[in-house]
Structure 1
Amino acid sequence: MYRLLIVDDEPIIVESLLDLFEKKSLDLEVYGVFSSSAALQVLDEMKIDIVLTDIQMPGMNGLELHKQIIASWPWCRVIFLTGYDDFSYIQSAVRNGTVDYLLKMEGNEVIVQAIEKAIADLNNAIEVEQLIARSREQTLQIEPFMRKELLWGLMQSNNSKPSGLGQQFADLHIPLDASKHVITVIGRIDQWRESTNSFDKSLFLFAIQNIARDYFQTHTHFESFDFSDKSKIAWLLQPIDKYMQTNRVEETTDWKRVLTFIKGAVETIQMAVKKLLNIKISFAIATVSRPWSELPEQAELLNLMLGRGLGLGEELLLLEQPDWSLAYDVDHHLLRKAIKQMPFMQEMLENGQQAVFFGAYEELMHLAGSVSGHKERVRSEIYFTWVSIFLSYLNRWQSTEQLAEQFPLARITMLDYTNNWQEVTDYFYQLATLLFAERETNQGSQEQDVITQVQHYVQKNIAGDVSLNRIAEVVGHNPSYLSRLYKNVTGNSISEHISEIKINKIKELLQENRLKTSEIAKAVGFLSEQSFYRFFRKATQLTPQEFREKMQK
């Protein structure tokens, strides 16, 4: 919905135009003021899309107002409405391309057509194609960061289907094929030089990746990115088609040949980095290719190899074991993968995403319940992570007093997670259920509080400023958001509520028969008796006097 501001020093013109647009279905919020200074105040407080203004006004004239308007809202369309047929007077403003020029004598339909044209111009200015084109330009600037985010996400947890992943690769110009297997290499900087700052690290990492490019690019398509606070680099590689006679699984002769090439290239890269940059770097190299869905398992295994045992040395070349299932427990990986989702589950809890939260929660707790032997210590990790998550939520949202009456919060740190995992599972499930329910209740209560504030303000200030902007300022919300919220909760718009209050107040005052109609008009906030008559007759099909006479019978 667009906003139209009408500016004229003659109240009767403003009122008649407000009445005109009230009858038209143009999906507009319409405001009216009687001076340029009042217009500037409105423009300072809210976004205005179209201004219909007189040119000749006391103080700041329309042309000066136009300069102020485009300084604040460059896309705002300005329509000059004047009784002077003097085009040369405004030709400098017309050259701007965002203005129109109408004579008051041309009539209402011409004015409506000018507003419709302005709306069409605004719509054209935000065409989807233009937005997409701008987004593409911006994407080119941030594309490296988006590529890194996507690939890092795939290494953590692959939730993308191959078809969707392929489109993402294409959009981000990643030279990899989502339908083919991928080979992973992870490099670790063994030790940075003393006094190496973050900027220098970025330069060195860029240099390392360029060195790797020189050796990898002859036989592979690849993408690389750094992670772990600039201490590690990952390369994801696929062979160039001309070096592959077949695209069968990794045990084929072609795949083995490519893997041999990658191992040799990594060894050469390691030596080149030391010689050219004086930096020691270690590598963990996958010796089998895997589909993208298994990338997280393979990446975690390579990271583990660099973090324990032989991996604690320097200038290492560690190779993944040929039978990866022996080196890596699939069930344990699935559990680690689920544990990595816990920070996201915390966000789900705080954002009210109940269905998604419980889906992930049940998967995690089921996997944790199936572990045995020395892996049972993983349960303690999960248990105390949940304790931290829920205590943080309770403390930040102060959800303790009422909740404590219906739930045993004191048990949160005393459950037997070693011997009774089902009790732990049920406890946190029930706690999360109560927190989601409390959140919904609070949201509904807060929304109702806002509605009550709006209605209270309108009731007390019906003779004063009951514009949407003023009401939004009083209750502390954005006007557009407040308008939508009020409509969603009550089923009526704020303007409909204001009209209802005004009608009821007018009827009450008319029945008391103490005030003149001009006094009643002022008491309910009308700027002129003419607009008061129009408003009342439109609502009741009676004039104020006819209504008063009817009530006296």
Structure 2
Amino acid sequence: MNNVLVVDDEPIILEALYNTLTRMEDHELIVWKAPSADEAIEIMKSSRIDILMTDVRMPGMSGLELVGLVRKQWERCKIIILSGYSDYEYLQTALQQNVFDYLLKPVDEEVIVETITRVITEIESNMHVQELMTKAESQLQRAQSLLHRDFSEKLFAGELYAEGTIAESLEMLKLPLRCDLDVIVVVGRTDRWPRDYLLKEKLLMHYAIHNIVKEYLSSACRIVTFIENGYMVWLIQGAEDGSREDQDLITLHWYIGEMLEKIQQSIRDYLKLPVSLLLSKPNIGWPSIANTFKEMCAWLQRGIGLDEEIIFIERIDEMKPSHDSGEQSFADIKRSMSHLQNLLESGNEDAFMQEFADFFRAVQEFVFLEYTLQLEIYANLSWMFLTYINNRKISPFIEEDLAYLSNYGLFANWSEMEACFLRLAARLFSLVQGENKSQKQEIVDKIDAYIVESFSSEYFSLTHLAKTFQLSTSYLSRLYHSEKGISLTERMKQLRMTRAKELLLIENKKIQEVALELGFYNVPYFSKFFKKNIGITPQEFKQKYAMAPGGGPSGHGQ
């Protein structure tokens, strides 16, 4: 998904450019328009800008001045300059600002489409998989793994409180953070790994993911990554190089939130991995990092709607801290149980069932004579299932099984306990999958009803729809397509064409009136759009199927 901002003080040209871009079906675009540089700046303050298409000569601030301001806020933004003058000085200044293209007005629709296509191709090719993987290999070799691991374990376990201890560790590990400043926390989870991935390959991908995050955020902040209990954690503070002197954590927090969608999309496109990301509230003090991390992990485990590629910002008030895994004794068995919990929480049923069977085979001989250790394993497994049940509020559906989670004496032997827990796990996976399906269907039905009611409004757009349902545009698009089997763009196009045909059949209804009612300000463009989808022009359709007094059309194709 790319955000495009079009700026031109001539209304006819602005509307023509806007209509051309919004009808581009081969690319997912969110298009903004502004009749002046001042209004463009207001849009820029609330939305990420990936592509700026601006006129040069406008009243007040010029297009080139606007380019400079946009570059300060969104330095990766691609610039397309429009001008009615073949002016050498303007062209020279544009080249100095490293613009993508300089187009002379009037510009044909085909040229606009071709230029935007080239811009998007360049955006997508800026990050190369091979470069990311090479950098990841190098980082893996240089990592101070043991010291780094020791620091992260203590930090996220809440065992580092003294500012002096934290400062000493940051300096020793050469981590570019300050212990006297608050941080922003981002937690990421790889939702699904390819089945053939080994531990080294997963670790390599974690580094590659970090490189993508760094590519998008490093110019605005200082950032350090950790891997803790299978989660990726980024601690972030503002940049100290003077490039953003006026930027506090609130502004930085907003900027990161705007970039999460692009980060997630790049990971999906280049690494072929689905990743969920959660952004904490700003101003997290170092003593609060451990609890914040636990709360964010608990929220990610619950998820919403789709069970993959979640993006959540600031909503961690309801989270409950996770519990300590227990004493250090019996450590290997505990680590295996922790892995089982991660598989259960991630919804990976096949891997969980296999790991569960392997776990019981591995520990049965070890604990056979040690009754207290049997109790310890039973208590931990019961806690794992109960935590899962409570987090998802599904206890009413498995009341008959709850007794087996609180009374070890109900099992005649170890094998009976294994069989009971396997049945319970299968039941839980089935319940949660059904719940997710029902939840997604309910959300999508509401979205579809809203589209049918509002699609002809002049204010209706994918951005408006996303804000109405408080979801990101990319997440909304994927959620709708996963349930309906059709894209939102295609659905809106179908509704427009159906409504267009209905309006054209009204006697004395002018084609211009139909176009305006459907949000098309350019009648020739409406005619072209109609013919592309229906096969004939609006005028031909009207002549062929126009309703006669007392009669009606015999049918009108699509």
- Structures share a fold, TM > 0.5? yes
CA contact (8 A) 1:69 1:76 kept: yes
CA contact (8 A) 2:506 2:546 kept: no
Structure 1 residue 459: Cα displacement: 1.6
Q: Distance in 2 between matches of 1:26 and 1:389?
A: 46
Q: What letter is aligned with 2:444? A: I
CA contact (8 A) 2:78 2:119 kept: yes
Q: Distance in 1 between matches of 2:42 and 2:525?
A: 24
Q: Deviations over 1:25-71 (max 9, x none)?
A: 86452625242455445544543322222223345442233133212
- CA gap of 1:203–1:45, structure 2 versus 1, over 3 A, is closer
Structure 1 residue 116: Cα displacement: 4.7
- CA gap of 1:521–1:426, structure 2 versus 1, over 3 A, is same
Which of 382, 385, 396 pairs up with 1:387? 382
Asked if 1:355 is matched to 2:354, the reply is no
CA contact (8 A) 1:79 1:100 kept: yes
CA contact (8 A) 1:387 1:413 kept: yes
- CA gap of 1:541–1:389, structure 2 versus 1, over 3 A, is same
State the partner residue of 2:318: none
Structure 1 residue 497: Cα displacement: 0.7
Identify which range, 348-357 or 66-75, moves more after superposition: 66-75
Asked if 1:342 is matched to 2:342, the reply is no
State the partner residue of 2:460: 466
- CA gap of 1:85–1:200, structure 2 versus 1, over 3 A, is closer
Which of 442, 445, 465 pairs up with 2:435? 442
Structure 1 residue 101: Cα displacement: 1.7
State the partner residue of 1:478: 472
Q: Name whichever structure is richer in helix by fraction.
A: 1
SS of aligned partner of 1:341: helix
Structure 1 residue 85: Cα displacement: 2.0
Which of 501, 517, 536 pairs up with 2:530? 536
SS of aligned partner of 1:78: strand
Q: Distance in 1 between matches of 2:114 and 2:539?
A: 36
Q: Deviations over 1:74-131 (max 9, x none)?
A: 1111111111222313643431213432211465555455445534543453233554
Q: Distance in 2 between matches of 1:48 and 1:108?
A: 22
State the partner residue of 2:13: 13
State the partner residue of 2:57: 56
Q: Distance in 2 between matches of 1:514 and 1:146?
A: 80
SS of aligned partner of 1:340: helix
Q: Deviations over 1:130-164 (max 9, x none)?
A: 54566578768x821477549x99xxxxxxxxxxx
Q: Distance in 2 between matches of 1:347 and 1:82?
A: 57
Q: What letter is aligned with 1:393? A: Y
Q: Distance in 2 between matches of 1:46 and 1:92?
A: 26
- CA gap of 1:424–1:38, structure 2 versus 1, over 3 A, is farther
Q: Which runs of no fewer than 5 residues in structure 1 stay unpaired?
A: 154-195, 208-334
State the partner residue of 1:35: 35
SS of aligned partner of 1:481: helix
Q: What letter is aligned with 2:417? A: V
Q: What letter is aligned with 1:482? A: L
Q: Distance in 2 between matches of 1:119 and 1:17?
A: 17
Q: Deviations over 1:466-524 (max 9, x none)?
A: 32222222222221232233333322221111111111122223334475433333332
Which of 489, 497, 510 pairs up with 2:504? 510
Q: Distance in 1 between matches of 2:39 and 2:461?
A: 13
Q: Distance in 2 between matches of 1:484 and 1:372?
A: 47
Matches within 5 A, 1:46-195: 46-58=47-59, 60-89=61-90, 91-105=92-106, 107=108, 110-112=111-113, 114-132=115-133, 143-145=143-145, 149=149
Q: Distance in 1 between matches of 2:428 and 2:519?
A: 45
Q: Distance in 2 between matches of 1:14 and 1:114?
A: 17
Which structure's CA Rg is the greater one? 1
State the partner residue of 1:273: none
State the partner residue of 1:321: none
Q: What value does the CA root-mean-square deviation take over the aligned residues?
A: 3.9
Q: What letter is aligned with 1:351? A: S
- Number of residue pairs the alignment of both structures matches: 382
Q: Deviations over 1:408-439 (max 9, x none)?
A: 32442124267432332222212211211122
Q: Distance in 1 between matches of 2:402 and 2:338?
A: 22
CA contact (8 A) 2:500 2:518 kept: yes
Q: What letter is aligned with 2:8? A: D
Identify which range, 429-438 or 116-125, moves more after superposition: 116-125
CA contact (8 A) 1:376 1:418 kept: no
CA contact (8 A) 1:368 1:378 kept: no
Q: Which runs of no fewer than 5 residues in structure 2 stay unpaired?
A: 154-160, 173-329, 548-552, 554-558
Matches within 5 A, 1:375-414: 375-404=370-399, 407-414=400-407
Among the aligned pairs, what percent are the same residue? 28
- CA gap of 1:5–1:517, structure 2 versus 1, over 3 A, is same
State the partner residue of 1:322: none
Q: What letter is aligned with 1:540? A: I
SS of aligned partner of 2:101: strand
Asked if 1:422 is matched to 2:423, the reply is no
- CA gap of 1:531–1:417, structure 2 versus 1, over 3 A, is same
State the partner residue of 2:450: 457
Q: Scaled by the length of structure 2, what TM-score is found?
A: 0.59
Identify which range, 505-514 or 110-119, moves more after superposition: 110-119
State the partner residue of 1:494: 488
Structure 1 residue 351: Cα displacement: 1.1
CA contact (8 A) 2:55 2:82 kept: yes
Q: What letter is aligned with 1:35? A: P
SS of aligned partner of 1:434: helix
- CA gap of 1:445–1:400, structure 2 versus 1, over 3 A, is same
Q: Distance in 1 between matches of 2:62 and 2:511?
A: 34
CA contact (8 A) 2:51 2:78 kept: yes
Q: What letter is aligned with 2:71? A: I
Q: Distance in 1 between matches of 2:372 and 2:72?
A: 63
- CA gap of 1:514–1:107, structure 2 versus 1, over 3 A, is closer
CA contact (8 A) 1:7 1:33 kept: yes
SS of aligned partner of 1:408: helix
- CA gap of 1:114–1:344, structure 2 versus 1, over 3 A, is same
CA contact (8 A) 1:82 1:103 kept: yes
State the partner residue of 1:433: 426
CA contact (8 A) 2:9 2:58 kept: yes
